[in-house]
A and B are shown apart, each in its own frame.
Chain A
Amino acid sequence: MACENKEIKVPKRILNTLISSLSAGVVPRSGAPYIAIGRTEEINSLLDNLDEVAEGGSACRFLIGRYGSGKSFLIQLIRGYALDRGFVTADADLTPERRLSGGNGGALGTYRELITNLATKATPEGGALSGILSKYYVKLKNELLSGGFDPDSEEFNSELKKRIHASISTLEADAFGFDFARVISEYYVATIEDNSEKRGACIRWLRGEFANKTEAKKALGFSVSTVIDDDNWYSFIKLFSSLSRMLGYSGLILFIDECVNLYKIPNRISRESNYEKLLSIFNDTLQGKAPGLGVIFGGTPKFLEDTRRGLFSYEALKSRLEDSKYATLGYQNLASPVIRLRRLSDNELLALVRRLTKLYSEREGLTEPPLTDEEIGRFMDQALSRTGADEMITPREIIRDYLTLLNILRDNESATFSELLGRLTFTSPNEPTEEALPATNKSINKVSLFDIEI
């Protein structure tokens, strides 16, 4: 069933998805471990964090790297591992509309995205909320069956409700826990009573889809003291992490990427409000106030280290996240909350290309690799020798161009490697670029002649 190489079996669907995603230049949702080249220390450090969370602890890390350095890839990698290890994961990319704090539904949007993308091992693509709740229900039901209860009797249902309430009520101690426990209990009751409408309403409440308590009460059929909104969403995330552990999962891992969008918030007060929320998440996780919760933020160097607008502009975060003086001695401190992703070295990029060659051969069922070592070397020489490659080259471009080359050679019998290499223009870095005049000096990253001292 699996496509084999000499090292590790790669399941066929995963291999197909992997190659397709890489060819399109997007981060593969599955199969990332098979192209995890380099980053060994960083990966091990993050996996150790997951182990801590599984043991009841909590963690918060910042993955900081330039565009195309592999932040999103690393996030997907760790996400896949977390799913395999029985974690519940949730991921969301921040946008100008989705933030950590703020009115007009900006923060609630982030929460909804996270809950929509809840995933488990059995449901790796997301939408696992129902599955998570059902798993516990079935577990309790099986316990009752094992205990000799007749599933058709009233006693069965009564005992089931009692046990559900007993376990869920442990959540009432946390902030907003009473309403959270109440809704989940009512969700199970609705399942027992086969009330799909009420069940749906409970799911909507958990997803934060009610605008106010009145609307929630009307749909749920019972009063709640709160609805999930921009201000309290993080408290419910902590409740979900407690729930996941209670239901038998290892914990809840959040992946929040594209944090540079917080850096881009133009209003300083709004931006600092978001940083305050980030600080509270950081403090909770590192002080053990959120057992079973791991949070991984992804952002650019500017987002972290810019002292005017980045995290380092917020003194409380700067003092917690900046390197100590010993870190400047040239050694990497992997215990620091911040993991800096340096650009992959040329040899690591070459190793990546060689791995791709193997995977591609497996997918195509080739007995021999499509390119020789010498040809691969020539490809890398050309990719690394173009102007600006030493600063701008990313794994994304190398992968996309290499797979393009292989696909062309596969689909066109008359095409030769040497001819293609001579004609292939390498894709531009997916970064903000300078434009030739006429241009204005108002856009980000555009250089004005008049900004430069002569």
Chain B
Amino acid sequence: MGKYDDLDAFWDLGRIMPKRKKMQPFNTTTSPTEHVIKGSDVDSSERKLTMIKNETDLEAIEERSYVPRGNGFIKEVTIRRWVDKYDFYGNFRKAAIVYYDYKTEKCDFAPYYSYMPQYSQLTIPQKQYYFYWRDMVRQGRFIKSDYSYLYLFVYEILNLPDKLPPSEGINMLCRLWCEYRDELPKIDANFATWIQDYCLVHEIPCPMEQISEFIFDVISASSFKEFYLSEMGTVGDAGTDAMIAYLSDYDFRRCKYRTPENKTAYNKYMLSAMRRVIFALMNSDNPVYDDTKTAVIERDAFPRSLCTHAVKCRLKIRYTPLSKDIKLRSVVTMAVRYTENKLRANLGVKSRLAIKDLPDQYKRLIDEYFNSLIGERSAKAKKESLPEYEALYDAPAESLSISGADKIEQESWLTTARLVGDEYVDEENCSMPVLEEVASEKLFVEDKKEAVMNLEISEEYDTCENTYGLSDDEIYIVADITKGRICGYGFEILEKIERINERFSEEFGDVIIESDGDRYRIIEDYQEDIELWLAKIKK
């Protein structure tokens, strides 16, 4: 080798390149593979994710179907056990069973966030707080929490139906939802789905009573609304509100006449009226919606949750799709508009929404509701609004009695006697004044408007009969009036007729002469009687 051989080696780049590691072949054995991640500075334990090979026979797929009771929209639910080669999060269930009764002492809150919370991810402070928090929650004390703590506990419930029976598990899930939805508002969508899946998988009825207070948000958040909608008739205004939100194309909440001042009353009356309509729609023998039309949903149960092989399954739900029923939507929409028209009328608003093809039976339901309400409210309001002084004008309370009424009626004659005067004419003992000759006299100023009266002076009238205190010429005037002879308006005749009427009014109780145009006449009711009387007192 000469001196120039080393020079050639200078240009060998292979000497200066780093050496490649020798590649190992991928291990495909069936033994568990553990991926170990070193813990934090605080926690010296190891945080582990585990996968366990599924040893279930792939051919033995468990499937069961049933028809839910009490939910008219869900026709059939089929549950198929989830089968996969690997049981992801298999150790979670084991750990959950171990930790089921674990408790810790009171400690400070330790924030925790994880996309898929598990025990193995918790630091020591987090672990301490989680078990303390869980213990408080089980005692009904819902202290501060994070999303991940909450979900971790939910995963326990979902994955341990053998430890916590589903009938109790559903209650706990609902409590968690109620208590934490204000503090952790984003849980609605997940809980809406998990609870409905929990009920469907374990054949539990929808827990409507426990979530009724926020059923509107439940319906809005739920991806399968028909699960909750069949219970709307029993929920009250909130359920009706949700139903309207789902099925109506018209949103009454956006009405400009629904002001902050009348909002509460507006909602109440709208929902109360619509509840009757909804109930009638859902419980009718001839439902508006097409009951024969069905749709199918097929999906995994408990999506976005940590589900172990023990509980993971696939749901296939056959149901009546309400939202797609055009006729139902139309009826609900028109009913909402009809109800709003009623409220607008009550507010004095002239503008009305157009109503088309709303069956009369639903109009009647709405009309009856408002009519009864106005009647009840007006009577109640009227009674409540009656001022105190009105009590002064009420009748005394007493029971009906014939004898009491008789006594009142008899006593009232005393009042009548005082009013009409108690001077009766004693016909049996009437005085008999001697009829004197009365000189003829002109009673009227001679005038073409005045009447001429011929006085017949004679001892014609026998005053054995009651003369009612009249003088002879007054009796003559009465006689002439009966014959239609008196006419015109002289002062003298006017005065005499007044006196005659006064005497009869006092003695007899009524006047007997009335004016008829330019004539005087005897009142028709007494014509016969006066003639009889004149005949009696005439000799």
A residues apposed to B, CB below 8 Å: 1-2, 7-14, 16, 30, 32-34, 36-40, 43-44, 47, 64-66, 69, 77, 80-81, 84, 120-124, 130-131, 134-135, 137-139, 141, 191, 194, 196, 301, 305-306, 340-348, 350-352, 354-355, 373, 377, 380-381, 384, 388, 390-391, 434, 436-442, 447-452, 454
Kindly list chain B residues whose C-beta atoms are within 8 Å of the C-beta of A343. 393-395
State how many angstroms separate the Cβ of B425 from the closest Cβ of chain A. 9
B480 within 8 A of A: no
B9 within 8 A of A: no
Nearest CB in chain B to that of A124: its residue: B511
- A8-B417, A343-B393, A354-B405 given; name 11 further pairs at CB < 8 Å: A11-B508, A12-B526, A36-B416, A40-B412, A122-B511, A124-B511, A131-B498, A347-B401, A354-B409, A437-B371, A449-B265
Return the CB mask of B496-517 against A: 1 if under 8 Å, else 0: 0111011001101111000000
A439 in contact with B526 given A30-B510, A34-B416, A123-B498 (CB within 8 Å): no
The answer to whether A84 and B404 touch across the interface, beta carbons within 8 angstroms, is no
The answer to whether B501 and A439 touch across the interface, beta carbons within 8 angstroms, is no
Kindly list chain B residues whose C-beta atoms are within 8 Å of the C-beta of A81. 419
B26 within 8 A of A: no
Kindly list chain B residues whose C-beta atoms are within 8 Å of the C-beta of A380. 400
Of B77-85, B221-229, B376-384, the one with at least 4 CB within 8 A of chain A: B376-384
Kindly list chain B residues whose C-beta atoms are within 8 Å of the C-beta of A301. 389-390, 392-393
Q: What are 13 inter-chain pairs, A to B, with CB distance below 8 A? A: A7-B413, A11-B510, A13-B526, A43-B418, A84-B419, A350-B402, A440-B345, A441-B347, A449-B269, A449-B370, A449-B374, A450-B347, A454-B264
Interface size on B, residues (CB 8 A): 77
B387 within 8 A of A: yes
| Candidate in B415, B421, B509, B533 with the most chain A CB atoms within 10 angstroms | B509
Kindly list chain A residues whose C-beta atoms are within 8 Å of the C-beta of B508. 1-2, 11
**Contact among A12, A80, A191, A384 with B419 in the assembled complex (CB-CB below 8 Å):** A80
Kindly list chain A residues whose C-beta atoms are within 8 Å of the C-beta of B346. 437-441, 448-450
Kindly list chain B residues whose C-beta atoms are within 8 Å of the C-beta of A344. 395
Closest 5 CB pairs of A and B: A438-B345, A33-B419, A122-B498, A350-B405, A138-B495
B420 within 8 A of A: yes
B348 within 8 A of A: yes
The answer to whether B417 and A1 touch across the interface, beta carbons within 8 angstroms, is no
Nearest CB in chain A to that of B377: its residue: A452
For window 419-449 of chain B, which residues contact chain A by CB distance below 8 Å? 419-421, 424, 445, 447, 449
The answer to whether B395 and A345 touch across the interface, beta carbons within 8 angstroms, is yes
Kindly list chain A residues whose C-beta atoms are within 8 Å of the C-beta of B398. 345-347
The answer to whether B505 and A122 touch across the interface, beta carbons within 8 angstroms, is yes
State how many angstroms separate the Cβ of A383 from the closest Cβ of chain B. 10
Nearest CB in chain B to that of A10: its residue: B509
The answer to whether B395 and A448 touch across the interface, beta carbons within 8 angstroms, is no
For window 349-407 of chain B, which residues contact chain A by CB distance below 8 Å? 367, 370-371, 373-375, 377-379, 381-382, 387, 389-390, 392-396, 398-402, 404-406
A351 in contact with B406 given A11-B509, A130-B494, A437-B342 (CB within 8 Å): yes
Bound CA–CA A187/B323 (angstroms): 92
Nearest CB in chain B to that of A138: its residue: B495
B29 within 8 A of A: no
A441 in contact with B348 given A2-B509, A13-B526 (CB within 8 Å): yes
The answer to whether A447 and B382 touch across the interface, beta carbons within 8 angstroms, is yes
Nearest CB in chain B to that of A374: its residue: B402
Bound CA–CA A316/B414 (angstroms): 38
B523 within 8 A of A: yes
Bound CA–CA A120/B497 (angstroms): 13
Nearest CB in chain B to that of A7: its residue: B413
State how many angstroms separate the Cβ of B524 from the closest Cβ of chain A. 8
Kindly list chain B residues whose C-beta atoms are within 8 Å of the C-beta of A44. 415, 418
Kindly list chain B residues whose C-beta atoms are within 8 Å of the C-beta of A124. 505, 511
The answer to whether A437 and B498 touch across the interface, beta carbons within 8 angstroms, is no
A69 in contact with B404 given A36-B416, A37-B409, A436-B370 (CB within 8 Å): no
Nearest CB in chain A to that of B370: its residue: A437
The answer to whether A346 and B502 touch across the interface, beta carbons within 8 angstroms, is no
State how many angstroms separate the Cβ of A124 from the closest Cβ of chain B. 7
Bound CA–CA A13/B348 (angstroms): 52
| Candidate in A12, A135, A447 with the most chain B CB atoms within 10 angstroms | A447
Nearest CB in chain A to that of B373: its residue: A449
State how many angstroms separate the Cβ of A27 from the closest Cβ of chain B. 15
The answer to whether B502 and A351 touch across the interface, beta carbons within 8 angstroms, is no
Kindly list chain A residues whose C-beta atoms are within 8 Å of the C-beta of B253. none
State how many angstroms separate the Cβ of B340 from the closest Cβ of chain A. 12
The answer to whether A134 and B374 touch across the interface, beta carbons within 8 angstroms, is no
State how many angstroms separate the Cβ of A161 from the closest Cβ of chain B. 15
The answer to whether B381 and A12 touch across the interface, beta carbons within 8 angstroms, is no
Bound CA–CA A348/B341 (angstroms): 47
Bound CA–CA A159/B395 (angstroms): 62
Kindly list chain B residues whose C-beta atoms are within 8 Å of the C-beta of A452. 265, 377, 381
State how many angstroms separate the Cβ of B355 from the closest Cβ of chain A. 13
Nearest CB in chain B to that of A196: its residue: B449
The answer to whether A305 and B389 touch across the interface, beta carbons within 8 angstroms, is yes
The answer to whether B416 and A439 touch across the interface, beta carbons within 8 angstroms, is no
Kindly list chain B residues whose C-beta atoms are within 8 Å of the C-beta of A440. 345-346, 348
The answer to whether B390 and A7 touch across the interface, beta carbons within 8 angstroms, is no
**Contact among B265, B342, B419, B499 with A450 in the assembled complex (CB-CB below 8 Å):** B265
Bound CA–CA A357/B262 (angstroms): 55
The answer to whether A439 and B412 touch across the interface, beta carbons within 8 angstroms, is no
Bound CA–CA A348/B417 (angstroms): 18
A384 in contact with B409 given A447-B378, A449-B374, A454-B268 (CB within 8 Å): no
State how many angstroms separate the Cβ of A343 from the closest Cβ of chain B. 4
B343 within 8 A of A: yes
**Contact among B345, B402, B405, B420 with A84 in the assembled complex (CB-CB below 8 Å):** B420
Bound CA–CA A69/B393 (angstroms): 9
**Contact among A34, A137, A350 with B400 in the assembled complex (CB-CB below 8 Å):** A350
B529 within 8 A of A: yes
Kindly list chain B residues whose C-beta atoms are within 8 Å of the C-beta of A454. 264-265, 268
Kindly list chain A residues whose C-beta atoms are within 8 Å of the C-beta of B529. 1, 12
Nearest CB in chain A to that of B513: its residue: A122
Nearest CB in chain B to that of A328: its residue: B392
Kindly list chain B residues whose C-beta atoms are within 8 Å of the C-beta of A451. 381
The answer to whether A351 and B408 touch across the interface, beta carbons within 8 angstroms, is yes
Nearest CB in chain B to that of A340: its residue: B392
Bound CA–CA A86/B414 (angstroms): 21
The answer to whether A354 and B406 touch across the interface, beta carbons within 8 angstroms, is yes
B411 within 8 A of A: yes
Kindly list chain A residues whose C-beta atoms are within 8 Å of the C-beta of B456. none
Kindly list chain B residues whose C-beta atoms are within 8 Å of the C-beta of A10. 509
**Contact among B342, B378, B411 with A40 in the assembled complex (CB-CB below 8 Å):** B411
The answer to whether B497 and A122 touch across the interface, beta carbons within 8 angstroms, is yes
State how many angstroms separate the Cβ of B166 from the closest Cβ of chain A. 39
State how many angstroms separate the Cβ of A85 from the closest Cβ of chain B. 9
Bound CA–CA A44/B414 (angstroms): 11
Nearest CB in chain A to that of B442: its residue: A151
Bound CA–CA A14/B346 (angstroms): 50
The answer to whether A66 and B393 touch across the interface, beta carbons within 8 angstroms, is yes
A346 in contact with B495 given A194-B447, A436-B374, A442-B348 (CB within 8 Å): no
Kindly list chain A residues whose C-beta atoms are within 8 Å of the C-beta of B367. 436-437
Kindly list chain A residues whose C-beta atoms are within 8 Å of the C-beta of B406. 351, 354
The answer to whether A355 and B409 touch across the interface, beta carbons within 8 angstroms, is yes
**Contact among B408, B497, B498 with A38 in the assembled complex (CB-CB below 8 Å):** B408
Nearest CB in chain A to that of B395: its residue: A343
The answer to whether A137 and B491 touch across the interface, beta carbons within 8 angstroms, is yes
Return the CB mask of B458-502 against A: 1 if under 8 Å, else 0: 000000000000000000000000000000000110110111011
Kindly list chain B residues whose C-beta atoms are within 8 Å of the C-beta of A130. 494
Kindly list chain A residues whose C-beta atoms are within 8 Å of the C-beta of B492. 138, 141
The answer to whether A342 and B392 touch across the interface, beta carbons within 8 angstroms, is yes
**Contact among B264, B265, B396, B414 with A345 in the assembled complex (CB-CB below 8 Å):** B396
The answer to whether A138 and B381 touch across the interface, beta carbons within 8 angstroms, is no
**Contact among A1, A32, A384, A448 with B533 in the assembled complex (CB-CB below 8 Å):** A1
